[in-house]
């Protein structure tokens, strides 16, 4: 780049002696009780100048008067001080007053005395930093010149050092102030303010970052701005209308050095991260050398500071941001709830959204597709948010939203809008992934006045959605806490249910669709508690699973079912298949297979008449251990059915690799099989796919003859449902 006319290339010049641009005179003071001495001194110094600055001579006739003048006149450089005035040592006594009381260590003092014999102690001269001691008779013009020149030079050095010390103190102070700022932008603003206060000028300038890492973009952007530029904070440098300023900054970044112009300064900083910072300051007049040196020291300091702030920001971003979606994380979600509660008493909603069956996406399609799906879903949710709404990823497939509360109906609309977004499947690399969200929501102040409580209550509402109607939303109400308590009571009661003989089994027939015969039954658990009240599986099985109680209960069910099957097979009618449900929790038990085989041996059931129903979720998890376990069951002769099939995402090729016997089409697809063509085609697909893999296909929840007709047409092998029979007691099966 070419150098502009007004560019003073100070940068590479060796340090020059300080140039005071104001050319103000040196102030010196003559303190003497003899008018003659005043006149003689003035006369002798008429043509005196030092560093192109003339003298201004101030006269005092007593020590007392001198003291008064010293408090009024600032910057007196040198005092010619008569020792003997109103008293023998009036002049000498003034010295400690100047140094100690007035705290003026800079002013140079030349003592003069009329009596050659009188000299102060050397100790006094040193202690009070007296420059010179001369008998009046000794002071010829030349001597006066030499003495004053050396006094002024030394005064100037002291001032320079003093200013430097003050500047350094300010740098140390401002740096430590600045280090408290942990965010880059805040830090940059601090830097601008501090520089202007170091230079004692009004704040006007910009801090601009050229960055690869700082802001995740390679653009130059304004981190901080003051004065007439204040409005440009956060904007790209490109948008600044002031062309000169832009050029200055670009120039400094291109040259990689600070530039000092007559009326402005551009400081250049290079950070250890290889990011670069340019600071443009309007100085109005050229900077004095000392100021430039100070700025350079300051720049080293703030480069470290920027680096720190950047690190803090990164650490903070790690602590408060989700790296995958770049959304705030759970910690910052809770913080923001608290912030909102602190800053206003307006109601707002805390919404938690969970993706149904997301585990199946991860397991079935792989982690990469799962991650991509999460990102897309995050973006879709974000598009539901307006400016003052907050979206966060709370972990896994859980998202959180904070939205203002206006009215109940508006909230229903907001929640519906979110659900509506996901009507179409999300497409990731040609995979059409149906996404349904389950949502729970709580309202600030109505359902809690702290983040923990609001979060927990939204979570309870979410759990309710999950249990009752996935793919929809529930708003928290106090009844749910009661439900939660009931659930805890349920778990407590369940512990004694087996021993108290409160559990029993019902059996639901499974019909062969080709010949209409009873082919098998599914064992379904029932619980009538001590008070004779029936608890239904959909209520107590999740509680049993959560608490782990399902493990012993499941074994009890298996044993009862096997015993029942053996009883039936001893009767006149041939053996029928006994299907028993197995929860994830049971299947994961390390000794699950062993326990099953023990029960098979103990009850004497023919293993080929026992079928275990595993859900698709079990099938989709942890495939190596899974395949091993399934193979063990298979080699023991036990059959395996996949329950609720169609709700997960297991692929054809995956199923092919597993030793399974039957697919049970989920009730959800049968319910509208005669009226909804999508459902009919999913059922048709499952039947065709099952047959392709040489599997039996059973339809669950067959309730009408229309259902049966469609299924028969599709070639489905078996059916189960209220159309044939509800779950019934063992004796009723015999009648059936
Ligand atoms: P599931 O394994 O899908 O069992 C079928 C459920 O559908 C049964 O509900 C049954 O009564 C119901 N059902 C059967 N035909 C129809 C129909 O035509 N229409 C409708 N609407 N429903 C029908 P149930 O007995 O309430 O069991 C609910 C769930 O509890 C079962 O779903 C199963 O997941 C679980 N469960 C039941 N017994 C056991 C058990 O012994 N162990 C385990 N781990 N889970 C069990
Ligand atoms: Ca089942
Ligand atoms: Ca089922």
pLDDT digits over 416-456, tens only?
Answer: 989 999 988 899 998 888 899 999 999 999 999 999 999 99
> Hey, which bits of 396-553 come out as E strands?
398-404, 426-428, 431-433, 437-443, 473-475, 503-512, 518-528, 534-535
Q: Of 34-38, 599-603, 617-621, 651-655, which one has max mean pLDDT?
A: 599-603
pTM above 0.75, yes or no: no
- The verdict on the CB of residue 509 being under 6 Å from ligand 1 is no
Closest residue CA from atom 46 of ligand 1: 581
Asked whether the predicted pLDDT for residue 650 surpasses 50, the reply is yes
* Tokens read off for 167: 């500047």
Whether the per-residue pLDDT at 19 is higher than 60: the answer is no
Ligand 1 centroid from CA 524, angstroms: 6
According to CATH, the superfamily of the domain at 488-735 is EAL domain (3.20.20.450)
Residue 714 has pLDDT above 90, yes or no: yes
Q: What's the CA gap between 446 and 454, in Å, rounded?
A: 9
Number of the ligand 1 atom closest to the C-alpha atom of 583? 44
| Per-residue pLDDT, 706 | 96
The C-alpha atoms of residue 588 and residue 622 are separated, in whole angstroms, by 10
Which of the listed CATH numbers 3.30.450.40, 3.10.180.10, 2.40.30.10, 3.40.250.10 matches domain 177-320? Answer: 3.30.450.40
Question: What atom in ligand 1 is closest to the CA of residue 525?
Answer: 38
Q: Which ligand is nearest to the CA of 524?
A: 1
pLDDT over threshold 60, residue 213: no
Coil, helix or strand for 80?
strand
At 21 the pLDDT is: 44
Helix (H) / strand (E) containing 316: helix 289-320
Cα(613) to centroid(ligand 2), Å: 6
Would you call 15 helix, strand, or coil by DSSP?
coil
Q: How far apart, in whole angstroms, are the C-alpha atoms of residue 192 and residue 155?
A: 32
611 alpha carbon, closest ligand: 2
Number of the ligand 1 atom closest to the C-alpha atom of 723: 18
172-190 mean pLDDT: 70
Q: Write out pLDDT tens, residues 47-74.
A: 899 988 999 999 999 999 999 999 998 8
Percent of the chain with pLDDT over 90: 46
Of the pLDDT bands very low, low, confident and very high (cuts 50, 70, 90), residue 186 is: confident
Q: Which two tokens stand for residue 716?
A: 């489905």
Per-residue model confidence (pLDDT) at position 3: 36
Q: Is 508 in the pocket of ligand 1 (CB under 6 A)?
A: yes
Residues 446, 458: Cα–Cα separation, whole Å: 12
Decide which of 621 and 466 is more confident. Answer: 466
Residue having the nearest C-alpha atom to atom 22 of ligand 1:
701
Residue 271 pLDDT exceeds 60: yes
Q: How many residues does the chain have?
A: 736
Say if ligand 1 is within 6 A of residue 736 CB.
no
- Distance, in Å, from the CA atom of 552 to the CA atom of 508, rounded to the nearest integer, reads 23
Gap from CA of 667 to ligand 3 centroid (Å): 7
CB of 313 sitting under 6 A from ligand 1: no
- What pLDDT score does 239 carry? 83
Summarize pLDDT for 98-154 with one digit per residue, the tens: 989 998 988 999 988 876 666 666 777 777 788 777 777 777 888 888 889 989 998
pLDDT at 605 over 60: yes
Q: What integer pLDDT is reported at residue 177 of this predicted model?
A: 65
Which residue ranges make up each domain of the chain?
Answer: 26-158, 177-320, 330-476, 488-735
CB 549 near ligand 1, within 6 Å: no
For a ligand 1 pocket test, name from 520, 535, 537, 670 the mutation site with the most ligand atoms within 8 angstroms of its C-beta: 537
pLDDT tens digits, one per residue of 538-593: 889 988 998 899 999 999 999 999 999 999 998 877 789 999 999 988 998 999 99
Contact 268, 257 (CB under 8 A): yes
Distance 615 CA to ligand 2 centre (A): 8
- Quote the pLDDT of residue 520: 96
Tell which one of 528, 539, 541 to mutate to probe ligand 1, the residue whose CB is within 8 A of the most ligand atoms.
541
Query: pLDDT tier at 515 (50, 70, 90 boundaries)?
Result: very high
- The residue to mutate among 524, 536, 595, having the most atoms of ligand 1 within 8 angstroms of its beta carbon, is 524
> Does the pLDDT value for residue 395 go beyond 50?
yes
The DSSP string of 203-265 is --EEEEEE-SSTTSSSSEEEEEEEGGGGGGTTSBGGG-S-HHHHHHHHHHHHHTS-EEBSSEE
Q: Quote the pLDDT of residue 2.
A: 37
Which tops the pLDDT comparison, 177 or 498? 498
Task: Please state whether beta strands 390-395 and 398-404 pair in parallel, antiparallel, or not at all (unpaired).
Answer: antiparallel
* Topology of domain 330-476, CATH: Alpha-Beta Plaits (3.30.70)
Closest ligand, as measured to the CA of 525? 1
**Most confident by average pLDDT, 166-180, 334-348, 601-615:** 601-615
Nearest ligand 1 atom to the CA of 703 is 18
Q: Is 525 in the pocket of ligand 1 (CB under 6 A)?
A: yes
721 lines ligand 1 (CB under 6 A): yes
CA 491–ligand 3 middle distance (angstroms): 23
Model pLDDT, residue 13: 35
pLDDT tens digits, one per residue of 282-338: 988 888 887 888 788 778 777 877 877 777 777 777 778 888 998 999 989 999 999
Q: Ligand 1 pocket, 719 CB below 6 A?
A: no
pLDDT score of 712:
97
> Ligand 3 center to residue 662 CA distance, Å?
12
Q: pLDDT at position 619, please?
A: 79
In angstroms, the CA 724 to CA 510 distance is 8
Write down the mean pLDDT value for the chain: 86
What is the mean pLDDT of the segment spanning 335-343? 92
Residue 445 is given by DSSP the state T
Mean pLDDT to the nearest integer, 356-373: 88
Judge whether residue 665 has pLDDT over 50.
yes
- Distance (angstroms) between ligand 2 centre and the Cα of 174 equals 71
pLDDT, tens only, 241-250: 888 898 999 8
User: In the CATH scheme, what is the code of domain 26-158?
Assistant: 3.40.50.2300
Q: How far is the CA of 99 from the centre of ligand 2 (A)?
A: 98
């Amino acid at each position: 780049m070419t150098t502009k006319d007004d560019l003073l290339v100070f940068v590479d010049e060796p340090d020059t002696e300080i140039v005071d641009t104001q050319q103000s005179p040196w102030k010196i003071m003559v303190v003497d009780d003899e008018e003659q001495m005043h006149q003689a001194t003035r006369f002798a110094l008429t043509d005196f100048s030092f560093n192109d600055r003339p003298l201004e001579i101030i006269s005092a006739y007593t020590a007392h008067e001198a003291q008064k003048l010293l408090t009024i006149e600032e910057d007196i450089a040198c005092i010619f001080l008569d020792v003997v005035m109103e008293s023998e040592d009036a002049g000498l006594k003034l010295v400690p007053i100047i140094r100690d009381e007035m705290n003026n260590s800079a002013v140079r003092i030349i003592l003069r005395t009329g009596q050659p014999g009188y000299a102060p102690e050397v100790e006094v001269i040193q202690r009070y930093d007296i420059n010179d001691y001369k008998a009046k008779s000794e002071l010829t013009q030349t001597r006066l010149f030499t003495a004053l020149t050396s006094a002024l030079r030394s005064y100037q050095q002291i001032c320079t050092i003093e200013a430097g010390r003050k500047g350094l103190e300010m740098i140390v102070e401002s740096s430590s102030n600045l280090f408290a700022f942990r965010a880059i932008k805040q830090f940059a603003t601090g830097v601008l303010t501090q520089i202007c206060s170091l230079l004692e000028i009004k704040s006007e300038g910009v801090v601009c970052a050229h960055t690869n890492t700082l802001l995740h973009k390679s653009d130059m952007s304004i981190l901080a701005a003051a004065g007439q530029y204040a409005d440009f904070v956060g904007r790209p440098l490109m948008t600044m209308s002031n062309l000169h300023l832009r050029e200055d900054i670009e120039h400094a970044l291109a040259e990689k050095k600070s530039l000092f112009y007559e009326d402005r300064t551009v400081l250049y900083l290079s950070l250890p991260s290889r990011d670069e910072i340019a600071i443009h300051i309007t100085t109005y007049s050229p900077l004095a050398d000392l100021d430039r040196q100070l700025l350079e020291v300051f720049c080293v300091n703030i480069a470290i500071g920027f680096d720190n702030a950047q690190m803090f920001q990164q650490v903070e971003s790690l602590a408060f941001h989700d790296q995958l979606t770049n959304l705030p994380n759970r910690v910052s979600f809770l913080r923001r709830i608290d912030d909102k509660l602190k800053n206003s008493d307006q109601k707002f909603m805390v919404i938690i959204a969970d993706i149904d069956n997301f585990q199946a996406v991860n397991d079935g399609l792989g982690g990469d597709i799962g991650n991509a799906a999460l990102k897309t879903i995050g973006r879709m949710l974000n598009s539901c948010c307006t400016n003052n709404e907050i979206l966060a990823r709370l972990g896994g497939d859980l998202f959180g939203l904070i939205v203002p509360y206006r009215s109940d109906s508006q909230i229903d609309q907001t929640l519906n809008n979110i659900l509506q977004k996901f009507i179409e499947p999300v497409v990731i690399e040609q995979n059409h992934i149906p996404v349904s969200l389950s949502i729970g929501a709580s309202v600030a102040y109505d359902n809690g006045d702290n983040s923990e409580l609001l979060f927990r209550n939204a979570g309870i509402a979410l759990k309710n959605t999950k249990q009752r109607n996935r793919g929809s939303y529930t708003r928290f109400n106090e009844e749910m806490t009661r439900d939660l308590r009931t659930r805890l009571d349920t778990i407590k009661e369940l512990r004694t249910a087996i021993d108290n003989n409160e559990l029993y089994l019902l059996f639901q027939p499974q019909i062969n669709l080709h010949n209409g015969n009873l082919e098998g039954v599914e064992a379904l658990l029932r619980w009538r508690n001590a008070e004779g009240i029936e608890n239904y599986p959909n209520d107590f099985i999740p509680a049993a699973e959560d608490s782990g109680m399902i493990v012993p209960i499941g074994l009890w069910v298996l044993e009862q079912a096997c015993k029942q099957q053996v009883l039936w097979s001893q009767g006149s009618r041939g053996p029928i298949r006994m299907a028993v449900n197995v929860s994830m929790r049971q299947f994961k038990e390390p000794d699950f297979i062993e326990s099953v085989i023990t029960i098979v041996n103990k009850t004497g059931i023919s293993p080929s008449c026992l079928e275990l129903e595993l859900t698709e979720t079990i099938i989709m998890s942890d495939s190596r251990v899974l395949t091993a376990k399934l193979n063990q069951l298979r080699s023991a002769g036990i059959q395996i059915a996949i329950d609720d099939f169609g709700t997960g995402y297991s692929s054809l090729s995956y199923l092919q690799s597993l030793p399974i016997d039957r697919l049970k089409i989920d009730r959800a697809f049968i319910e509208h099989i005669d009226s909804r063509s999508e459902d009919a085609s999913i059922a048709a697909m499952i039947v065709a796919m099952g047959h392709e893999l040489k599997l039996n296909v059973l339809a669950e929840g067959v309730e009408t003859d229309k259902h049966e007709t469609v299924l028969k047409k599709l070639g489905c092998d078996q059916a189960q449902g209220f159309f044939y029979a509800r779950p019934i007691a063992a004796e009723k099966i015999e009648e059936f």
